[in-house]
Amino acid sequence: MRYRPAGMADRPVVAPAGFDGPVSSVGPVTSASPVARSPAGRDSALASAALGRLGGIMAEDAIFVLASGVRDAKDALDGVLQRRGPAYAAALQGQPHARMTTEFDAWYIEMVHALAPVSPPAWVPMMGVVREKVTLEIGARGLRSLFSSKPSDRDVARVKRYGSLAVRTLRAVLGADGSLDPEEYRSIAAVIAALGLPEADAHALRWEAPIAPESFDDPGEVDHAVARAIVRGAWLAAAGDAIDPREEHAIRVVGAKMGVTPDDIEEARRSAVEFIDWRRRAGVAAVDGVRYVLSDRVPGLGVQLAALTATIMLPRRWREEALAPVAQGAPVALAKRHVGLEADDRRAVLGVAWAASLVDDPSVGRRALLRARWERFAEDLGEDDPLPREIVERWLTESLTGVARTLQ
């Protein structure tokens, strides 16, 4: 059955009151002689509006994907396209759905869940554990995948065991310096979503009371790679707002219980702190890129997307400093502030900035203006490759065109 957006008319247009001739005989529309839009015109307007809504949520999703440090942006975007089908269908039909600019927490959790089997976002704590195939979102593996998409009982048991240990560790570390705040609850919920556990198990894990590391059950023999990933994920969570001695104690206790050596625990700490510093540099540049390209949407979308990009890309300890100019309404000065970023980081920053520019479905004329700003920012960043923009543009255009074919 051909898809028809919600509200699309199924009956012919009724001619304006007092008009006796056939609708097809109506001449050019003027202010003195208004006429009803033809069925084809009405359908076209409704389809355009539906595609505009879809393009908006897809652009927001692209911000998340490109901010996550993926190695192959195109593959990751295509993977999300498949995984976010229900949300995209809801956008087309004008139904409620979580998106970055309206329900950030729910959207964030959905995006982590969508990326889990594709390219787990590097900045989310415990995604290193997911990379060790501690998720049921990847389905069956090995020979079993030839006959069934359902994970084996052994895989399910493994994800329950290691996933629960990762979540309990994360909760214990985040709560070591006081009660959990909304952002910390969101991080825990995102990790649980990425595990892909059956709803009953996910629900129980979501509402489990915090457990002190000293009271953890003996985990038994833990896969070394998984244990190291849990320790690094714990350091990553702690380092986001400066490592508290109580958080450090919790990490070392859990690491020792899993059999991780002190040297490996210290190496995981060093790696996490380096990552946080790298994330800060790329995050500040991305916030400036969004602000510069959308400089005429202040106050408004330019401020909102800059702040949300900061929430995604910047560790908490650096966020307030980066957003101070946003709160003050200060313009972005192109002064080579971000020269020195690695090539992959520059491409990610520019991809995020261009995706942000497309969130409100700009017209052709406005898109040219936005592109000119984007190119000036790219030049200031020291990047002359148009690929970051082209990847986002091509993905959106081809995806929307494919949907549009079903609306004809």
User: What is the pTM for the complete model shown?
Assistant: 0.86
Q: Are 126 and 167 in contact (CB under 8 A)?
A: yes
Asked if residue 265 is part of any domain, the answer here is no
The answer to the question of residue 240 being in a domain is: yes
Residues 322 and 352 in one domain: yes
352 within 8 A of 63, measured Cβ to Cβ: yes
Last residue of a domain, one of 260, 286, 304: 260
Contacts 24+ apart (CB under 8 A), 276-279: 276/236, 276/239, 276/240, 276/315, 276/317, 278/345, 279/123, 279/313, 279/314, 279/315
Q: Is the pLDDT of residue 20 over 50?
A: no
Of 278 and 354, the one with more pLDDT: 354
Residue 113 lies in a domain: no
Q: Are residues 406 and 291 in the same domain?
A: yes
User: For 175-186, what is the mean pLDDT?
Assistant: 94
Tens of pLDDT, residues 44-53: 888 899 999 9
| Assigned domain for 382 exists | yes
* Residues 183-233 pLDDT 10s: 999 999 999 999 999 999 999 999 999 999 999 999 999 999 999 999 999
Provide the number of structural domains found in the chain: 2
As given in the structure block, the two tokens for residue 336 are 């080579």
Residues forming beta bridges with residue 33, ordered by sequence position: 30
According to DSSP, the residues that pair with 289 across neighbouring strands are none
User: Which of 206, 232, 260 is the last residue before a domain boundary?
Assistant: 260
Alpha-carbon distance of 203 to 192, in angstroms, equals 9
> Residue 283 falls within a domain, yes or no?
yes
Among residues 235, 260, 285, which one ends one of the domains? 260
User: Which has the higher per-residue pLDDT, 330 or 55?
Assistant: 55
Q: Confirm whether 28 is domain-assigned.
A: no
Same domain, 284 and 312: yes
Question: Residue 216: exposed, middle, or buried by beta-carbon count in 10 A (0-12, 13-18, 19+)?
Answer: middle
The answer as to whether 150 is a domain residue is yes
pLDDT above 90 coverage of the chain, percent = 75
CA atoms within 13 A on the CB side of 221: 0
pLDDT of residue 329: 81
The CA–CA distances, whole Å, from 191 to 17, 54, 70, 180, 276 equal 59, 26, 18, 15, 19
Assess contact for 115 and 121: CB atoms under 8 A.
yes
97 lies in the same domain as 155: no
Copy the structure tokens of residue 191: 């990790």
- Per the domain annotation, does 354 fall within a domain? yes
Do 289 and 317 belong to one domain?
Answer: yes
Task: Give the pLDDT band (50/70/90) at residue 69.
Answer: confident
Q: Is the domain of 66 the same as that of 133?
A: no
Boundaries of domain holding 139: 122-260
Specify whether 294 is located in the same domain as 380. yes
Pair (51, 167) in one structural domain? no
127 shares a domain with 42: no
